[in-house]
Amino acid sequence: MVAAHRRHDMSDRVWARLEPHLPGAGGKVGRPAFDNRRFLDAVSWILRTGAPWRDLPPDYGDWKNTHRRFCRWRDRGVWEKLFNEVIDEPDLEWLMLDASHIKVHPHGAGAVGGNQEMAYTKGG
Protein backbone atom coordinates (compact mmCIF):
# COMPACT_ATOMS: atom_id res chain seq x y z
CA MET A 1 0.00 0.00 0.00
CA VAL A 2 0.99 3.61 -0.44
CA ALA A 3 2.45 5.22 2.70
CA ALA A 4 -0.05 8.10 2.53
CA HIS A 5 -2.86 5.65 3.13
CA ARG A 6 -1.07 3.58 5.75
CA ARG A 7 -0.77 6.33 8.34
CA HIS A 8 -4.54 6.28 8.80
CA ASP A 9 -5.00 2.52 8.71
CA MET A 10 -6.14 0.49 11.68
CA SER A 11 -3.64 -0.11 14.46
CA ASP A 12 -2.59 -3.62 15.48
CA ARG A 13 -4.33 -3.11 18.84
CA VAL A 14 -7.69 -2.33 17.23
CA TRP A 15 -7.26 -5.15 14.70
CA ALA A 16 -6.59 -7.70 17.47
CA ARG A 17 -9.80 -6.61 19.17
CA LEU A 18 -11.97 -6.79 16.05
CA GLU A 19 -10.56 -9.81 14.22
CA PRO A 20 -12.33 -12.54 16.26
CA HIS A 21 -15.72 -10.92 15.59
CA LEU A 22 -15.44 -10.64 11.82
CA PRO A 23 -17.22 -12.87 9.31
CA GLY A 24 -14.95 -15.30 7.51
CA ALA A 25 -12.59 -15.76 10.46
CA GLY A 26 -10.88 -19.11 10.79
CA GLY A 27 -12.99 -21.81 12.45
CA LYS A 28 -16.31 -20.32 11.28
CA VAL A 29 -18.66 -21.64 8.63
CA GLY A 30 -17.92 -20.46 5.10
CA ARG A 31 -14.85 -19.52 3.14
CA PRO A 32 -12.14 -17.79 5.19
CA ALA A 33 -11.66 -14.11 4.37
CA PHE A 34 -7.99 -13.26 3.92
CA ASP A 35 -8.39 -9.52 3.49
CA ASN A 36 -10.71 -8.37 6.30
CA ARG A 37 -8.14 -5.88 7.57
CA ARG A 38 -7.62 -4.34 4.14
CA PHE A 39 -11.40 -4.18 3.70
CA LEU A 40 -11.88 -2.38 7.03
CA ASP A 41 -9.11 0.06 6.16
CA ALA A 42 -10.79 0.72 2.79
CA VAL A 43 -14.17 1.42 4.41
CA SER A 44 -12.46 3.64 6.96
CA TRP A 45 -10.78 5.58 4.14
CA ILE A 46 -14.13 6.10 2.39
CA LEU A 47 -15.86 7.25 5.57
CA ARG A 48 -12.99 9.49 6.63
CA THR A 49 -12.59 11.25 3.28
CA GLY A 50 -16.23 11.33 2.19
CA ALA A 51 -15.09 10.31 -1.29
CA PRO A 52 -17.35 8.32 -3.60
CA TRP A 53 -16.74 4.58 -3.75
CA ARG A 54 -15.33 4.89 -7.28
CA ASP A 55 -12.46 7.02 -5.89
CA LEU A 56 -11.22 4.29 -3.56
CA PRO A 57 -7.45 3.94 -4.10
CA PRO A 58 -6.76 0.72 -6.02
CA ASP A 59 -4.35 -0.54 -3.36
CA TYR A 60 -7.39 -1.08 -1.10
CA GLY A 61 -8.98 -3.36 -3.68
CA ASP A 62 -11.71 -3.06 -6.29
CA TRP A 63 -14.21 -0.37 -5.31
CA LYS A 64 -17.24 -2.32 -6.55
CA ASN A 65 -16.42 -5.45 -4.54
CA THR A 66 -15.63 -3.34 -1.49
CA HIS A 67 -18.97 -1.54 -1.76
CA ARG A 68 -20.85 -4.80 -2.29
CA ARG A 69 -19.22 -6.33 0.79
CA PHE A 70 -19.93 -3.17 2.80
CA CYS A 71 -23.65 -3.49 1.93
CA ARG A 72 -23.70 -7.21 2.78
CA TRP A 73 -22.19 -6.51 6.20
CA ARG A 74 -24.71 -3.70 6.71
CA ASP A 75 -27.62 -6.00 5.88
CA ARG A 76 -26.34 -8.74 8.22
CA GLY A 77 -25.77 -6.34 11.14
CA VAL A 78 -21.99 -6.85 11.19
CA TRP A 79 -21.25 -3.12 11.51
CA GLU A 80 -23.55 -2.78 14.50
CA LYS A 81 -21.92 -5.80 16.14
CA LEU A 82 -18.44 -4.32 15.61
CA PHE A 83 -19.56 -0.95 16.91
CA ASN A 84 -20.93 -2.55 20.08
CA GLU A 85 -17.62 -4.38 20.49
CA VAL A 86 -15.49 -1.22 20.54
CA ILE A 87 -17.86 1.31 22.10
CA ASP A 88 -16.56 0.66 25.63
CA GLU A 89 -13.03 1.75 24.70
CA PRO A 90 -13.21 4.73 22.30
CA ASP A 91 -10.18 5.60 20.21
CA LEU A 92 -9.90 9.36 20.68
CA GLU A 93 -7.30 9.60 17.92
CA TRP A 94 -10.20 10.09 15.50
CA LEU A 95 -12.03 12.68 17.64
CA MET A 96 -13.74 15.29 15.46
CA LEU A 97 -15.35 18.64 16.20
CA ASP A 98 -18.48 19.79 14.46
CA ALA A 99 -17.83 23.21 12.90
CA SER A 100 -21.27 24.51 13.91
CA HIS A 101 -20.00 24.72 17.50
CA ILE A 102 -16.96 26.86 16.72
CA LYS A 103 -17.61 30.57 16.69
CA VAL A 104 -15.88 32.66 14.05
CA HIS A 105 -14.33 36.02 14.82
CA PRO A 106 -16.17 38.70 12.80
CA HIS A 107 -12.95 39.77 11.05
CA GLY A 108 -12.32 36.19 9.90
CA ALA A 109 -15.77 36.02 8.33
CA GLY A 110 -15.47 39.27 6.39
CA ALA A 111 -17.95 41.15 8.57
CA VAL A 112 -17.98 44.92 8.32
CA GLY A 113 -17.81 46.55 11.78
CA GLY A 114 -20.30 45.96 14.55
CA ASN A 115 -21.77 42.66 13.38
CA GLN A 116 -22.92 41.11 16.64
CA GLU A 117 -24.68 38.19 14.94
CA MET A 118 -21.38 36.25 14.68
CA ALA A 119 -21.55 35.62 18.44
CA TYR A 120 -24.53 33.31 18.06
CA THR A 121 -24.76 29.79 16.72
CA LYS A 122 -27.57 28.74 14.39
CA GLY A 123 -29.67 27.59 17.31
CA GLY A 124 -29.47 31.00 19.01
pLDDT tens digits, one per residue of 68-121: 999 999 999 999 988 887 777 766 665 555 555 556 666 666 656 555 555 565
Tell me if residue 39 falls in helix, strand or coil. helix
113 part of a folded domain: no
108 part of a folded domain: no
34 part of a folded domain: yes
**Residue 85: per-residue pLDDT:** 79
122 part of a folded domain: no
77 part of a folded domain: yes
Q: Considering the chain, what is the average pLDDT of its residues?
A: 76
Which range of residues forms the domain containing residue 33? 3-93
116 part of a folded domain: no
Q: Count how many domains the chain has.
A: 1
pLDDT band at 23 (very low <50, low <70, confident <90, very high): confident
In the chain, how many H helices and how many E strands? 5, 0
* CA neighbor of 25 nearest in space, from 9, 36, 14, 38: 36
* CA neighbor of 42 nearest in space, from 23, 69, 75: 69
